[in-house]
Copies of this chain bind each other. A is one copy, B any other.
Amino acid sequence: MDRRPVTLEEVARVAGVSRATVSRVVNGVATVDRELRQVVERAISTTGYAPNRAARSLVTRRAGAVGLVLPDEGRTLHDPYFGRVVSGVMPVIRPLGVQLVLTTTDPGGHQEVVDDVRQRRLDGVILIHTHGADPLPRLLTEANLPVVLAARPLRPMAITYVDVDQAAGAALAVDHLVDRGCRRPATITGPLDAPAGQDRLRGFREAVARHGLPEPLVVEGDFSREGGAAAARRLAGEVFDGLFVASDLMATGALPVLRNRGLRVPEDVKVVGFDDSSPAVECDPPLTTVRQPVEDMAAEMARLLVERVERPDRPNASVVFAPTLVVRRSS
């Protein structure tokens, strides 16, 4: 029953060759004689051999695993965004035999990730949703570990990242509102100490100016539903006919506030969100919103990471994707 697993040694014995040759066949080294290869392959399948990864890792100095690091707040974990990232990463690393290890950073620091890296259990790391103050990106790059960020870092630094063109997304929203006849724009921004918050506001402002519209109303939110509601309340008494909310979740908080004020959406105010997350579909009315190609972005992150694991000397890169507009009933 629980007999020891088959080793390379055994396969070699059955095939009547050296361990080195079996190893070469297993790893697809091209120089092996065709006939010998077949003998070995037969021995592998009759013995049911599977290579022990720990032994291989020990000599190759490769864990064969990359980490996906999420902030522990739960927010991210329960966000469909997370699932989309996983869907994007999987298809690129799996064919390479690379495992995806999930890590959440503990409040007390990042000991988990750092340990996994120091113990060589992780060849590289994809970092999701780091705050500006997060020391982890620097910690890891300084340790010479391949790292890819899921967004532009707050402060410029030498690091590889993938992002969506946030400003272009905001512009998409404004163009659409203008197209629908809006002349008095307003926005509920994200937190302005986050790159996404900053960039979406900048894109909004630039597009508003480009269309020759009056100075827009701007209130700051924090990407949460409650923050959206609070921001919408601060808009009470103001006059506007188009509202760009920098995240769908905030929009679901803002919508009821508008309704209570007697404003109909989209008749009196047209609303556009950002993210195309599930709340956008479920809220009433369903939300027109800016969508990021998250799966594609995640696949690109994986590709960049794997590349840097293979070739640590590769220079940093940043790849920026174009957002798209998803039109629903709120506009």
A83-104 residues at the B interface, CB under 8 angstroms: 83-84, 86-87, 90, 94, 97, 99-104
> Known: A79-B83, A90-B104, A101-B100. Is A54-B63 also a contact (CB below 8 A)?
yes
User: Are A86 and B94 neighbours in the complex by a CB distance under 8 Å?
Assistant: no
List A residues 242-287 near B (Cβ within 8 Å).
252, 278-279, 282-284
Stretch at the interface among A110-118, A212-220, A233-241, A316-324: A110-118
The answer to whether A94 and B112 touch across the interface, beta carbons within 8 angstroms, is yes
Within 8 A of B (CB), among A107-148: 112, 115-116, 118-121, 144
Q: A2-B144, A278-B278 are in contact. Are A99 and B116 (CB under 8 A)?
A: yes
Q: Which of A14-22, A28-36, A45-53, A182-190 contacts B (4 or more CB under 8 A)?
A: A45-53
User: Cβ of A1: which chain B residues have Cβ within 8 Å of it?
Assistant: 144
A181 interfacial by beta-carbon distance below 8 Å: no
List chain B residues, Cβ under 8 A from A65.
99, 101
The answer on a CB contact under 8 Å between B119 and A51 is: yes
Question: How large, as a class, is the contact surface on chain A?
Answer: 35 or more
Interface residue? A58 (CB, 8 A): yes
CB <8 Å contact, B282 and A119: no
Known contacts A80-B78, A87-B77, A282-B283; A58/B50 CB under 8 A? no
B99 touches A54 (CB 8 A): no
A119-B279 contact given A101-B99, A112-B94, CB 8 Å threshold: no
Closest Cβ–Cβ distance, residue A113 to chain B (whole Å): 11
A83, A106, A112, most chain B CB atoms within 10 A: A83
Partner of A54, one of B54, B74, B78, B278: B54
* A157 within 8 Å of B (CB atoms): no
Q: In the complex the two chains form, is A50's CB within 8 Å of B119's CB?
A: yes
Q: How far is the CA of A82 from the CA of B102 in the complex (A)?
A: 12
Q: Please tell me which one of the listed residues B50, B78, B282 contacts residue A83 in the complex, with CB atoms under 8 A apart.
A: B78
In the A-B complex, the 10 residue pairs with the smallest Cβ-Cβ separation, listed nearest first, are A54-B57, A50-B118, A77-B83, A282-B282, A78-B83, A54-B58, A53-B119, A78-B80, A100-B102, A284-B284
* Given contact pairs A50-B115, A100-B103, A278-B279, a sample of 6 additional A-B residue pairs in the complex whose CB atoms are under 8 Å apart: A53-B120, A78-B278, A97-B115, A99-B103, A102-B102, A252-B282
